[in-house]
Amino acid sequence: MEILLLLIYSGIVWLIFFKYKLLPWNTISQVIVITIPVVAIAMLILLLNIYAPSSHDVRVMNYTVEIVPTVTGQVVEVPVEPNEHVKKGDVLFKINPEPFELKIKNLEAKIPMLEAKVVSARAYDRELESQLTSANSQIRVIQSQLDLAIKRLEQTKALAESGAGSKFDYEQAQTNLANFQGQIAVAEANKSQVLQKMSAQSSDGELSEIAQARSALEEAKAQIAQAEWDLSQTTFYAPADGRVINLQLRPGAMAVQFPIKPVMSFVEDEQWVTALFHQNELRYVEDGNEAEIALKTYPNRIIKCEVEHIVWANAQGQLTASGMIPDTQQTEFHEGRFAVRLKIAEEDKDLFLASGAVGQGAIYTERGKIIHLVRKVILRVGTKMDWLVLKLH
C-alpha cells in the first residue's frame, strides 16, 4: 500500500513539476517534495498501528482431548477412522467386557448368601432378646422365693430357740434358703452369658455377627455398583463433535488406565482464533470491534470477525511458586504480547478452519475510521501473496 501511495504521489509530482511545469524544480521544492511523503507515510503508519492495529501472528486453535481409558482391558473394536468426523456420543473404541461381566455375576451370586446370613443373624439376635427376657423373669421369680425363704428362716429360728417350734423345721428352712441362693446364682450367670452374646462389640473390637453380616452385604453391593460402572466404561464415546487424529489404536491392543498414556487424541470442532499484538497496540481495542483475518490456507480470502475479548495476561505476569526469592537480575527482556480472541462472523461461520492454521489480521477500532481503508487494502494485498509458494523442492 505504501508503494502504491508513493507511485501516485510520484505521478502527481511529475505532472506538476515536469509535465506542466506549474512550479519550479529548485532546491526548496526538492526538499519539500522529499519531506512530504516521508512525514506523511510515517504519520500514516503510526496512526494505522494505533487505530487499526495489525498482527502477523493469527492462529486457529482447537480443544484437544487426550483419550485415556478409565478401565484396563483388551481392545476388541475401533469403529472410527483417522481424521473421520464423528458426532458426540459416537463409539470411539470398545474394550472386552467379559471380565467385567463375570465379576458382576460372581458378586451377584454372593448376595443371596449374604442376605441369608443377615436374616439368620437377626433371628439369632431376636432369640437372644427372648432369652434375656426369660432370664429376667426367672430371676424375679427366684428372688421372691429367696426373700420368702429368708423370712421363713428367721421365723423358724426364733420358734426353735423359744421351744415353740421344732429344730427340723429350722434346718429345713436353712436348706430351702441355700437352694434358692444357688438357683438365683445360676439365673444371674445365664443372664450374664446372654448379655455377652448380645454385645455389639467384643473385648477384641470385632463387630457382632449381625453387624458383620450387614457390613459384608453392603460391601458386596458397593462392589457390584463399582463393577457395573467399570462395565459401562468398556465402551468409550466421543466427548464432543470432532475428529480422531493420529489414530494408532487397533483391536487386540491393551488399553491401560494410565493418565500419561493416552490411546488417541480427539480434536473437538469447537475452536477459537487468536491474534497476538504488542502491548501498546491495544490501547483503543474493545470487545465487539470489527476485525478481519487472512489465513494461508485460504489465499486471497478475507474472513470477517469481531473481537470477543482480550486476554489480559501472559507468562511474564506469573511468578513460579517456590521457596526461592524471584530472580530480578535478568539481562535480556522480551516484551510479552497479549492475545486477542476473535469470533468468526456469521457469514463465515461455516467455513472450515484447520487447527493450527496461521495468517495475519487486523482490528478496526472506533477511532480513525478514515484510515481503516488503508489497513484493509494492505491486508488484501498481503493475502494475495499467499498464492505464491516460494520453495525449490
Q: What does residue 207 show for φ and ψ, rounded to 5 degrees?
A: -70, 155
- Same domain? 248 vs 213: no
Residues in the chain, how many? 393
- Same domain? 240 vs 135: no
The interaxial angle of helices 27-51 and 372-384, nearest 10 deg, is: 80
DSSP states of 313-327 as a string? --GGG-PPPSSSPPP
324 is a domain residue: no
- pLDDT value at position 201? 40
183 is a domain residue: yes
Closest by CA to 43, choosing from 370, 287, 347, 311, is: 370
322 is a domain residue: no
List the CATH number of the domain containing 148.
Answer: 1.10.287
- All 3 cell numbers of residue 324? 526461592
- pLDDT value at position 126? 67
- pLDDT value at position 209? 65
- Same domain? 339 vs 351: yes
- Dist. CA 87–CA 92, nearest whole Å: 10
304 is a domain residue: yes
- Same domain? 123 vs 78: no
What's the mean pLDDT when you consider all of the chain?
A: 82
- Dist. CA 44–CA 41, nearest whole Å: 5
Q: Is residue 195 within 8 Å of residue 128, measured between CB atoms?
A: no
Closest by CA to 244, choosing from 40, 67, 82, is: 82
- Dist. CA 216–CA 32, nearest whole Å: 99
Specify the number of domains making up the chain: 4
Give the global pTM: 0.64
Q: Is residue 313 within 8 Å of residue 341, measured between CB atoms?
A: no
Q: Is residue 48 within 8 Å of residue 372, measured between CB atoms?
A: no
Query: Within a 10 A sphere around the Cβ of 85, how many other Cβ atoms?
Result: 13
- Same domain? 108 vs 184: yes
List the CATH number of the domain containing 239.
Answer: 2.40.50.100
- pLDDT value at position 385? 86
* Mean pLDDT, 10 residues at a time, the chain of 393 residues: 68 78 80 80 86 94 90 93 91 94 88 73 66 75 75 70 65 73 75 65 48 76 89 93 88 88 88 92 93 94 94 81 70 79 91 91 93 90 86 75
- Same domain? 34 vs 114: no
- Same domain? 147 vs 133: yes
pLDDT, tens digit (0-9, with 9 covering 90-100), for 54-65:
999 999 999 888
- Dist. CA 366–CA 354, nearest whole Å: 31
- All 3 cell numbers of residue 244? 480422531
Residue 207 per-residue DSSP state:
B
- Same domain? 239 vs 279: no
- Same domain? 290 vs 339: yes
Q: Tell me which residue range forms the domain holding 359.
A: 51-63+268-316+335-392
Cβ burial, residue 90 (10 Å; 0-12/13-18/19+): middle
- Same domain? 214 vs 164: yes
Query: Within a 10 A sphere around the Cβ of 49, how many other Cβ atoms?
Result: 15
- pLDDT value at position 17? 75
Q: Which residue has the cell 487499526?
A: 52
List the CATH number of the domain containing 278.
Answer: 2.40.30.170
330 is a domain residue: no
Q: Is residue 74 within 8 Å of residue 252, measured between CB atoms?
A: yes
In the chain, where does DSSP find H-type helix?
2-14, 27-51, 98-162, 167-198, 209-232, 372-384
Q: Within the chain, how many helices (H) and strands (E) appear?
A: 6, 12
- pLDDT value at position 56? 93
Q: Which residues of 244-266 are buried (b: 16+ CB within 10 A; e: fewer)?
A: beebebeeeeebeeeeeeebbeb
